[in-house]
Structure 1
Amino acid sequence: MSKVFDELPTTLDRDTPGIDWEDMVISTTPGGRKQIKLQVAREAGQIREIQIQKVPADPTAERMDVLLNLNREQSARLIELVRSLDYIPADGSKTVRLDDDLIRQLFTDSEALEQLYSQDPERVRTLIETDASASDVLALAHRQAAVSEFRHLLDDDDAFAEASRECGGPEGVWQKFLENNPWILGISLSGQLLTSWDDGRLEQTVAGFRLDAAGKRVDALLRTNGQISSLVFAEIKHHKTPLLQSKPYRSACWGPSTELAGGAAQAQTTVDRALNDLGERLVAKDESGAESGDQAFLVRPRSFLIVGHLRELVGPSGGVNTDKYRSFELYRRHLLQPEVLTFDELLARAEWHVSLSHGDNSEPQQPEWDW
């Protein structure tokens, strides 16, 4: 390690009021004739001066050679340099150059890491990716961004309309979003942990081999995780899909919308065809067509329909329309399959999951309604 200091001619007197001197012997020659001594002058806890001397081991000798004398600022720079040695890689033959200002900022400024990142972002990213604990930070940051995007798509009609144009329709927006964030389905749909059957995509062929076969595809094919896995099916609509008919069927009685009833029928048909075509289990195969040993069972498989938004059941003043809510809840609670979940319910679970990852154990925030 090398460091250049420009010495100043002035030094402190050992009799200076308020100065506490501390002497440390760094080394002594084998014959005991000379020593290297470090003298530190402190004032109210702050280092005022560091002086390195070569002196005779005999304390009565008069001759003394000052090797280095550092004032307050230079002493601080030396201390910072020594502290930084823990972070300098010892392997390799490359020279590592440290900037004094950057070192000082790293130890005193909370924003110093941002400056360090801006100087060499690729190196910082590499360090993070190889740090097991840091990978958790990256995963959490990704999930925070995902729930922010989720809420933005739910609340901003213009943003959702633009995304719909890009994805070929409103259902395509949510299919793409959940493809990119399958963890949202995995933690939200069931008390069991659900993961995608295929790491590549959620949407899968589950019945037949003809491209035009009815009930052939499911929007999300998932599996439970444990010693034994079971398949779980999910159909994904969009949050603007109506939940109820536009008019009550009878007084205080609202029927399910055509889209809701049709989505339920679609999910039921998909599961039925999968049971007929796949049998009691789905076996994974490798590229050669041989069984890989991975499998999931279809024993009365669970299915889900993700559709609509509960704000449809809220009146203009912000209060719940009890008749609408009762009608919707009775319909979905009496459905054996699929289980119906709205997009805002899906978002609430995802947001709570992220808040728990932050260490926030508070209850999820509820809307303010007048009862």
Structure 2
Amino acid sequence: MGLGTGTSFDNQFDLIERDLAEIEIRETNAKDKCIIWDLADSEKAYNSFLISQNTQSKTICDIAFHKSSQTGKYLPRVSFKRIAKNGDIQSTRSKDKVTIKFEDSADAVRFWKLIGFLFNYKDLVDIGEFEKSFQVVSKEAYVLEFTDKNELEKIQDLKELVGISDLNYNQLKTLTFENRKRNLKAFYYLLKNIRESHSRYREKYKIQPGEEHIWHHFLQSNDWILGLNVDLRFITDFLDEQKVGIENSSGSESPKVDILGISEFTTLIELKHTSADIFKASKSKGRANTWDFTTDFIEGISQCLGQKNELEKSFESKVFLDSDKKRLPKDGIETIDPKALLLIGNKKREFPINELDNTNFLKNKTLERFRRNNRNIDVLTFDELFERAYHIVFSRKLSKEWYWQEEDEIFREENDA
């Protein structure tokens, strides 16, 4: 491309008001220069970009292209300047480098649009080492890459994103709320098996058959639901499927607990499933004002009692391993008459008291009498656990009729009418 005598090169492209589609990078016919041209004005070229401005100053990016003898492409050299309203370049009295921050999200977006603009001319512009460190990708591509990372890599990425975004407490709280609301909705779907959620969940996470294994995986993955909600001391760590007794010489006869909760003192958690009934279909004759418990319920209580006893006997010599098979330090952890929780059934499904049925009232009272007079084992149903999780995520009260309400009503936003 030839250069006219009236061509103007010392111009500033306004990224605030204009679109990068209005300019392009071209090499001269002599192939000795690379210039940013205005598509609407053939005699106007740009050597800087306006990225941000306020009433006191503006931030610009100067850019020049230098041909590389190695690649034959043009290496962009950029410099950022903050210019005062009177035209002076702002500086500092100290020897420290001047830091130019794009604190406003719109300013940051404009900067990355400029970088993306340069990447569009990779056949002409030598991105060099910059391309090895940074890549302009779509949101969808980043999400796919993030999903494939392991848990530790995801945590590191999130820490970096939180750090550079400089989110305040309320913004971080909003992120936590959205994540927990999503987990709570998954809990609701599994509880009611909406749209065959059990099958979908099992297929997604490659879980072996059996509802107990689904709940085991879900509660282990969302440990805040148990750690913050049950009537126990705050639980800081959960160990999956731990043998709590002393094995015999053949390596057997040591009961295995579904989840071992670790804090200052240990907690045993035994999981059944939501479809397990607490009461028999009919009660024995001659027993007024009570109802018979099912074999599943009694065996669950018996399991918890056995695990408690075995853990007390074996704790001092027992070596506990975490999910990575690493030895768990037991400093500051004690086992004294360990607390135990049996999570079983669904009251709303098995004996809904909203139907005003005398049998359902009697079953509800029977369960409550058992719980209030039982010192060693806490019994909680899955629907009760959901209600407690709900009150951590949402500040409003959950209706007593929530189990039969529409999903949209249960999970409506706080500011909705």
Report the TM-score when normalising by structure 2.
0.53
The alignment partner of 2:13 has SS state of coil
Take 2:326 and 2:246, find their aligned partners in 1: how far apart are those partners?
Answer: 18
Task: Kindly indicate whether the alpha-carbon contact (under 8 Å) linking 2:304 and 2:340 is maintained by their aligned counterparts in 1.
Answer: yes
Task: Kindly indicate whether the alpha-carbon contact (under 8 Å) linking 1:174 and 1:238 is maintained by their aligned counterparts in 2.
Answer: yes
1:332: Cα distance to partner?
Answer: 2.2
Instruction: Give the aligned partner of residue 245 of structure 2.
Output: 207
1:295: Cα distance to partner?
Answer: 4.0
Take 1:178 and 1:241, find their aligned partners in 2: how far apart are those partners?
Answer: 17
Q: 1:88 to 1:172 in 2, by over 3 A?
A: same
Take 2:245 and 2:196, find their aligned partners in 1: how far apart are those partners?
Answer: 35
1:9-158 to 2 correspondence within 5 Å? 84-85=106-107, 87=109, 95-97=115-117, 117=139, 130-132=161-163, 133=167, 137-156=174-193
Take 1:87 and 1:206, find their aligned partners in 2: how far apart are those partners?
Answer: 55
| 1:334 correspondence with 2:350 | no
Pick aligned residue for 1:245 from 247, 260, 280: 280
1:237: Cα distance to partner?
Answer: 0.4
Task: Kindly indicate whether the alpha-carbon contact (under 8 Å) linking 2:223 and 2:238 is maintained by their aligned counterparts in 1.
Answer: no
Instruction: Give the aligned partner of residue 193 of structure 1.
Output: 234
Instruction: Give the aligned partner of residue 63 of structure 1.
Output: none
Q: 1:317 to 1:363 in 2, by over 3 A?
A: closer
Gaps of 5+ in 1: 8-23, 27-81, 99-115, 356-360
Take 1:127 and 1:296, find their aligned partners in 2: how far apart are those partners?
Answer: 31
Instruction: Give the aligned partner of residue 272 of structure 1.
Output: 309
Pick aligned residue for 1:255 from 288, 292, 309: 292
| 1:235 correspondence with 2:270 | yes
1:230: Cα distance to partner?
Answer: 0.6
Take 1:290 and 1:135, find their aligned partners in 2: how far apart are those partners?
Answer: 33
The alignment partner of 1:219 has SS state of strand
Moved more, 124-133 or 318-327: 124-133
1:317: Cα distance to partner?
Answer: 3.6
Cα shift readout 1:188-246 (whole Å, capped 9, x = no counterpart)? 11353213244xxx22122124686335211110023xxxx111111000011111122
Gaps of 5+ in 2: 1-11, 15-22, 24-37, 42-54, 58-103, 119-137, 147-153, 404-417
The alignment partner of 1:268 has SS state of helix
Aligned alpha-carbon RMSD (Å): 4.2
Q: 1:292 to 1:255 in 2, by over 3 A?
A: closer
Q: 1:246 to 1:353 in 2, by over 3 A?
A: same
Q: 1:120 to 1:293 in 2, by over 3 A?
A: closer
Task: Kindly indicate whether the alpha-carbon contact (under 8 Å) linking 1:282 and 1:298 is maintained by their aligned counterparts in 2.
Answer: no
Take 1:83 and 1:266, find their aligned partners in 2: how far apart are those partners?
Answer: 56
Q: 1:256 to 1:274 in 2, by over 3 A?
A: same
Among the aligned pairs, what percent are the same residue? 21
Cα shift readout 1:332-369 (whole Å, capped 9, x = no counterpart)? 222222110000011111122111xxxxx322222289
Pick aligned residue for 2:390 from 341, 348, 351: 351
- In our comparison, the structure showing a higher alpha carbon Rg is 1
The alignment partner of 1:188 has SS state of coil
Task: Kindly indicate whether the alpha-carbon contact (under 8 Å) linking 2:353 and 2:361 is maintained by their aligned counterparts in 1.
Answer: no
Task: Kindly indicate whether the alpha-carbon contact (under 8 Å) linking 2:321 and 2:328 is maintained by their aligned counterparts in 1.
Answer: yes
Moved more, 236-245 or 161-170: 161-170
